[in-house]
């Protein structure tokens, strides 16, 4: 009987150790995500399963139980090996899961997009092409932007042409957008009517209270504000398949702490129509 109890204890200990090891790997090192659509085609295809290497930009620590109940929770990021760069492909918690006017954490809803703009960038779309002031390198998928540039407004499906901030004061669209300044922590902006529309939901998210405009004056907690200093870093992200991608062009900026990690490698790929393994895609780096 003693030997049976010792054996049972060893099995429980081994199983517990494996579970803890799996959790630690998920939190600090590698997570797997399945690509459900073609919004990142051709870099990623529907049916791809990718690994996220978390040490690259640093793993996050937060109260996952609070997040599962859709509660706001403080998120800490451990130091990473490098900073996020333009054109990195990122996996993140979608910041607007219920509506595009509010930022909320939904721990089970993930998007994958390419980073186009960094904190501190001033970003525009000119004749369909992404532009960042002072940067002359490539941005995003050039072929997709070329297709968008060549199309007329009437050629786009309903809801595709018009963009963030979805306000009649702006006439931005996927061919003519911005300039939009992407805030970084410590930046101070003037709170005029223009910036109130652009940054309202980010200020409300950072402060966890409503920001209101009354008679052209801006109020937070019944206190008039003329300027605001941002507490967080933000990014602008977009899909490589620009005509079929809900991204920053539509719902706005991505808070840094919502970023899970940088996409690393395709470890499995199954054609969603045939169910067959796409062997040529296995272990291809994501870039």
| pLDDT score recorded for residue 27 | 59
Mean pLDDT, the chain, rounded, equals: 90
| pLDDT score recorded for residue 23 | 57
> What is the pLDDT confidence band of residue 136, given thresholds at 50, 70 and 90?
very high
| pLDDT score recorded for residue 50 | 97
| pLDDT score recorded for residue 61 | 87
Query: pLDDT tens digits for 33-89?
Result: 999 999 999 999 999 999 999 989 998 888 877 777 777 788 889 898 999 999 999
Please check the confidence at residue 97 and state whether its pLDDT lies above 70: yes
Alpha helices by DSSP H, 29-112: 64-68
Measured between alpha carbons, how far apart are the two ends of the chain, in Å?
A: 57
DSSP assignment string, 115-145: EEE-TT-EEEEETTEEEETTB-S--S-HHHH
CB 55 within 8 A of CB 28: yes
Which phi and psi angles does 235 have, rounded to 5°?
A: -135, 160
> What is the pLDDT confidence band of residue 121, given thresholds at 50, 70 and 90?
very high
| pLDDT score recorded for residue 282 | 95
Over residues 111-135, mean pLDDT = 97
Please check the confidence at residue 18 and state whether its pLDDT lies above 80: no
- What CA–CA distances, in Å, run from 261 to 28, 35, 81, 136, 173? 10, 15, 12, 26, 29
> What is the pLDDT confidence band of residue 119, given thresholds at 50, 70 and 90?
very high
**pTM of the full predicted structure?**
0.90
Over residues 273-282, mean pLDDT = 95
| pLDDT score recorded for residue 1 | 54
| pLDDT score recorded for residue 139 | 97
| pLDDT score recorded for residue 6 | 58
Listed residue (108, 104, 107, 85) closest to 96, CA to CA? 104
Please check the confidence at residue 29 and state whether its pLDDT lies above 70: no
Element (H, E) at 218: strand 217-220
| pLDDT score recorded for residue 178 | 92
Task: Give how far the C-alpha of residue 287 lies from the chain's centroid of Cα atoms, to the nearest Å.
Answer: 16
Task: Give how far the C-alpha of residue 189 lies from the chain's centroid of Cα atoms, to the nearest Å.
Answer: 23
Please check the confidence at residue 116 and state whether its pLDDT lies above 70: yes
Query: pLDDT tens digits for 146-171?
Result: 999 999 999 998 889 999 998 888 98
Please check the confidence at residue 21 and state whether its pLDDT lies above 60: no
- DSSP bridge pairs for 52: 31, 263
């Amino acid at each position: 009987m003693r030997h049976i109890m010792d054996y049972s204890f060893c099995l429980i200990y081994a199983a517990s150790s494996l579970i803890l090891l799996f959790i630690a790997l998920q939190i600090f090192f590698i997570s797997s995500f399945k690509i459900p659509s073609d919004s990142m085609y051709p870099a990623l295809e529907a049916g791809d399963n990718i690994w996220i290497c978390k040490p690259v930009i640093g793993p996050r620590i937060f109260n996952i139980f609070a997040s599962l109940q859709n509660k706001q929770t403080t998120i800490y990021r451990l130091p990473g090996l490098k900073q996020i760069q333009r054109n990195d492909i990122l996996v993140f918690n979608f910041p607007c899961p219920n509506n595009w006017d509010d930022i909320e954490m939904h721990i089970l809803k993930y998007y994958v997009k390419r980073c186009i703009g960094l904190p501190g960038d001033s970003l525009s779309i000119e004749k369909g092409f992404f532009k960042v002031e002072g940067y002359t390198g490539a941005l995003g998928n050039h072929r997709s932007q070329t297709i968008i540039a060549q199309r007329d407004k009437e050629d786009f499906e309903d809801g595709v042409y018009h963009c963030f901030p979805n306000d009649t004061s702006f006439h931005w669209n996927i061919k003519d957008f911005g300039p939009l300044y992407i805030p970084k922590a410590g930046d101070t902006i003037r709170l005029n009517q223009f910036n109130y529309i652009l940054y309202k939901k980010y200020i409300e998210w950072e402060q966890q209270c409503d920001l209101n405009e009354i008679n052209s004056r801006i109020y937070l907690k019944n206190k008039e504000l003329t300027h605001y200093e941002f507490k967080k870093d933000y990014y602008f992200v977009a899909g490589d398949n620009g005509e079929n991608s809900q991204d920053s062009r539509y719902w706005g900026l991505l808070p840094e702490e919502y970023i899970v990690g940088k996409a690393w490698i395709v470890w499995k790929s199954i054609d969603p129509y045939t169910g067959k393994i796409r062997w040529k895609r296995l272990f291809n780096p994501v870039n």
